[in-house]
Chain A
Amino acid sequence: MLNKWRASDIPALLAAAFLVIIILVALCAPLLAPYDPTFGNLTARLLPPAWMEGGRPDYLLGTDHLGRDELSRIMYGARISLAVGIGAVLFAGTLGTAVGIIAGYSRGLADQIIMRVVDAWMAMPSLIFAIFLAAMVGPSAGNVILILGLVYWTRFARLVRGEVLSLRERDFVKLAIVSGASSWRIMLRHMLPNVVNTVLVLGTLTLGVMIVTEASLSFLGVGVPSPEAAWGLMLAEGKAPMMGGKWWLTVFPGLGIMLTVLAASVLGDWLRVKLDPKGKRR
C-alpha cells in the first residue's frame, strides 16, 4: 500500500512534513523560543519584524502591544493549538466510536433513540453550541478539549454506526453470534478493528476543524484565557494594532492556523484514498 510513491503523494508528504515540524516546534518550544511568551518588554513594544524598517534582529517576528516576542508566542501557540486539537479529536473519536458501535450493534429501539439524539445534537450550530458550553464550564485549555469533544463526537458516531450496521450482516459477525460470543467481545474484537481506518481518516480531517474552532473560541474570549499564547487569542489581541498598520500581529498567527489546518486536511484526504481498499475513489 505504501511502497510506491507517486507524484500525487507529494502534497501529502509536504503536509506530513509540515505537521511534523509544527509538532516538534510545539514539543521543544521551551528550548527553541528566544523569550518567555508571557514576558513583556515595555521598552520594545509593537516592533515590526526584523527585516523591516525599525525592526530589531533579536525580535525576529516583531513584538506585540505589551512588548512580548511574536516568534515565541507563535511557538507556544502551536503547543496549545495542537494539544487542544489532538486532545479534542481523541475525545470526540473515542466517544463517538463507542456510541456508534453500540447503536449499530443493538439496532432496534436503542439505535433509534441514540441516533435521534445525535440528529438533534448535530442540528445545533457548532460554534454557538461551543460558546454555550464554554460559558457553562469557564475558559481553560482543558475545558476547550472537553467542549470541542462534546460538540463534534456526533460526526464519529454517525459514521461508525453506518459501518457497523453493514458489518452486522457480514458472515464473520454472524458466526461469532452463533458461536455464542458475548456482545462486548463481538463489538470490540470483531467490529472495532474494521472501523479504525474510517475513524482515523475522519479524525485527521476533523483535526483542522477542531483547531479552527479552538481559535474561534479563543478569539471570542471564551477559549484559552489570556495571557497564554493561543493563536486565536493572538488574533484577537492583534486586532486593534492591525488597524494601525501593525499587520504582523495578525498575519503570523493567522498563517499558523491556516497552514496547520490545510496540512491536516491534505493529509486526511490522502489517508482516505490510501486506506480505501477499493482503490482511488473520487
Chain B
Amino acid sequence: MTEMGETNAPLLQIEQLEVSAGASGRKVRILQGVDLALRERETLGVVGESGSGKSTLAAALTRLLGSGLSITGGRMTFAGEDILAMSAKRLQHLRGSEIATILQDPLHSLTPWIKVGLQVAEPAVFHEGLSWRDAKARAVDLMRAAWIPEPEQRMKAYPHEMSGGMRQRAAGAIALCSAPRLLIADEPTTALDPTIQLQYLDLLRNLQRQHGFALILITHDLGVVARNCQRVAVMYGGRIIESGPTKEVMDNPRHPYTRGLLASMPRLATAGRQQKRLTIIPGQPPVPGAAVQGCAFQPRCAERLERCATQRPPVFTPARGRESACWLEENTQ
C-alpha cells in the first residue's frame, strides 16, 4: 500500500445533517443535525440503541434512504466532493467503488442463484471496466484475504453451499473488490455466533491494515467499539451526543447517557476494580422523530438541569478532540 499524503482535510465531512420522514406538511425529523468528520484510514465506531438513527445515518451517506425518508438539511462531502450534489450516475459509481457497505444479515445478502465468485468479481467489472478474467483473479485474492479457505473452489460455489460466517466474509470481499476509501459496516456481526464475531472483526481490522480504507463501524456493542475503533460517536434520539477518542470516552465519559451506557455494560472484575452491580438507565428511549424541545435524554437523565427541558444543548468541546452535547459542560468551557 502506498502511503497517502496525510492531509488535515477529512475524507468524510458531515455538517448538521438532517433526515426527515413524511411529506412536507407533517415532517418528522429522524436525524436532527448530525456533525461528523472522518479522516483517511480512521476507524469510527457509531453506537446507540435501536431507533437512535445510526442505520439511517449509514444509509444517508450513500443517499440510499428508505422510501419516505429524505435528507432535508445539512452538508455532506466525501473527499471534497458534495455528496448531496451528485448525479444518479455519479452516486452509483460512488457506491461500491468509493464507499462500500457491508450489510447486517450474512445469510441473505448474497443472491442465491449467482455463483459467489461472480458476485465478488462483479464490482470490479462494473466500476473499473476490468475483464471478467482479471476480475475473477482479483476475487480469488480477495476471498483468500477474507480468510475463505480454498477460494478457487469457493468461486464456483453457490451461497447456500457456504456457512453463514463464510457468506459474511464473502460479502466483505465484495465490499473491498473495488478498493473503496470508506467502508461502512452496519452491525456486521449481529447475526453471527460470538466466536465468529471476534474473528470477523479481526478480519476487518486486518483488511483495513492491508487496504487502508476508513471504517465506520455501526454497532450497539460498546465492547466491539472498545476493541476496534480509534474514535467513537454515541448517538441518541437522532443526534450524536458524545464523541471522542475511544479510550478517553470509555475511561472518562462526559455525557450522562454515555456514563449510563457504560455502567450498564458487564465487565470482568480486574485487580483493584470490584465488579459493581450493573445499573440500568430508567425510562424509554424517545420514539424516533419525536419532537423534542430540549435535550432528548433529559426525561431519563439523573443529572438534568432546569434548562434541559426547554433548551437544546449545543455541542461543547470539553477537551481536545472531545465533544459532548450536554448543558453540564457549559461551565467547563
Tell me if A172 and B108 are in contact (CB < 8 A).
yes
- Interface residues of A, dominant DSSP: helix
Partner of B175, one of A173, A179, A182, A190: A179
Which chain A residue has the least Cβ–Cβ distance from B118? A189
Tell me if B113 and A179 are in contact (CB < 8 A).
no
Tell me if A180 and B103 are in contact (CB < 8 A).
no
Inter-chain CA distance A108–B96, complex, in Å, is 24
Inter-chain CA distance A177–B14, complex, in Å, is 22
Partner of A171, one of B62, B108, B114, B126: B108
Partner of A172, one of B104, B112, B126: B112
Inter-chain CA distance A198–B175, complex, in Å, is 32
Inter-chain CA distance A193–B114, complex, in Å, is 10
A7 adjacent to chain B (CB < 8 Å): no
Inter-chain CA distance A270–B175, complex, in Å, is 42
**Interface stretch (choices B69-77, B87-95, B150-158, B196-204):** B87-95
Partner of A175, one of B92, B113, B171: B171
Which chain A residue has the least Cβ–Cβ distance from B184? A178
Tell me if B92 and A182 are in contact (CB < 8 A).
yes
B105 adjacent to chain A (CB < 8 Å): yes
With a CB–CB cut-off of 8 A, which chain A residues contact B122? Answer: 179, 181
Write the nearest CB–CB distance from A282 to chain B, whole angstroms. Answer: 25
Write the nearest CB–CB distance from A174 to chain B, whole angstroms. Answer: 6
Which chain B residue has the least Cβ–Cβ distance from A168? B67
Inter-chain CA distance A201–B174, complex, in Å, is 34
Q: Point out residues on A near B: beta carbons under 8 Å.
A: 107-108, 170-182, 185, 189-190, 193-194
Q: Which 10 residue pairs across A and B have the least CB separation, nearest first?
A: A180-B96, A179-B96, A180-B95, A178-B101, A171-B108, A171-B109, A172-B111, A175-B109, A193-B113, A180-B92
Between A and B, 13 residue pairs with Cβ closer than 8 Å are A170-B108, A172-B111, A174-B109, A175-B110, A175-B174, A176-B111, A178-B62, A178-B101, A178-B103, A179-B175, A180-B96, A181-B126, A193-B113
Write the nearest CB–CB distance from A183 to chain B, whole angstroms. Answer: 8
Which chain A residue has the least Cβ–Cβ distance from B174? A179
With a CB–CB cut-off of 8 A, which chain B residues contact A108? Answer: 67
Inter-chain CA distance A185–B122, complex, in Å, is 10
Q: A170-B108, A182-B92 are in contact. Are A177 and B127 (CB under 8 A)?
A: no
B123 adjacent to chain A (CB < 8 Å): yes
Tell me if B108 and A179 are in contact (CB < 8 A).
no
Inter-chain CA distance A189–B126, complex, in Å, is 14
Q: Digit string of B221-236 for contact with A (CB within 8 Å is 1, else 0)?
A: 0000000000000000
B219 adjacent to chain A (CB < 8 Å): no
List residues of B (90-149) whose CB comes within 8 Å of A's CBs: 92-97, 100-101, 103-105, 108-114, 122-123, 126-127
With a CB–CB cut-off of 8 A, which chain A residues contact B101? Answer: 175, 178-179
Write the nearest CB–CB distance from B226 to chain A, whole angstroms. Answer: 27
Inter-chain CA distance A178–B92, complex, in Å, is 8
Tell me if A190 and B111 are in contact (CB < 8 A).
yes
With a CB–CB cut-off of 8 A, which chain A residues contact B110? Answer: 172, 175
B64 adjacent to chain A (CB < 8 Å): yes
Tell me if B108 and A178 are in contact (CB < 8 A).
no
Partner of A180, one of B104, B111, B127: B127
Write the nearest CB–CB distance from B332 to chain A, whole angstroms. Answer: 41
Inter-chain CA distance A180–B123, complex, in Å, is 7
Which chain B residue has the least Cβ–Cβ distance from A170? B108
Q: A174-B103, A189-B114 are in contact. Are A180 and B67 (CB under 8 A)?
A: no
With a CB–CB cut-off of 8 A, which chain A residues contact B113? Answer: 193-194
Inter-chain CA distance A245–B67, complex, in Å, is 67
- Residue with the highest number of chain A CB atoms closer than 10 Å, among B94, B97, B114: B114
With a CB–CB cut-off of 8 A, which chain A residues contact B67? Answer: 107-108
Inter-chain CA distance A171–B104, complex, in Å, is 9
Which chain B residue has the least Cβ–Cβ distance from A175? B109
Inter-chain CA distance A170–B122, complex, in Å, is 19
With a CB–CB cut-off of 8 A, which chain B residues contact A107? Answer: 67
Which chain A residue has the least Cβ–Cβ distance from B104? A171
Q: A175-B171, A179-B100 are in contact. Are A185 and B64 (CB under 8 A)?
A: no
Inter-chain CA distance A177–B95, complex, in Å, is 8
With a CB–CB cut-off of 8 A, which chain A residues contact B171? Answer: 175
Which chain B residue has the least Cβ–Cβ distance from A169? B66
Inter-chain CA distance A172–B101, complex, in Å, is 12
Inter-chain CA distance A92–B48, complex, in Å, is 50
With a CB–CB cut-off of 8 A, which chain B residues contact A193? Answer: 113
With a CB–CB cut-off of 8 A, which chain B residues contact A180? Answer: 92-97, 123, 126-127
Inter-chain CA distance A224–B64, complex, in Å, is 52
With a CB–CB cut-off of 8 A, which chain A residues contact B108? Answer: 170-172
Tell me if A171 and B92 are in contact (CB < 8 A).
no
Which chain B residue has the least Cβ–Cβ distance from A174? B103
Which chain B residue has the least Cβ–Cβ distance from A176? B111
With a CB–CB cut-off of 8 A, which chain B residues contact A172? Answer: 108-112
Inter-chain CA distance A75–B164, complex, in Å, is 57
Which chain B residue has the least Cβ–Cβ distance from A194? B113
Inter-chain CA distance A57–B234, complex, in Å, is 93
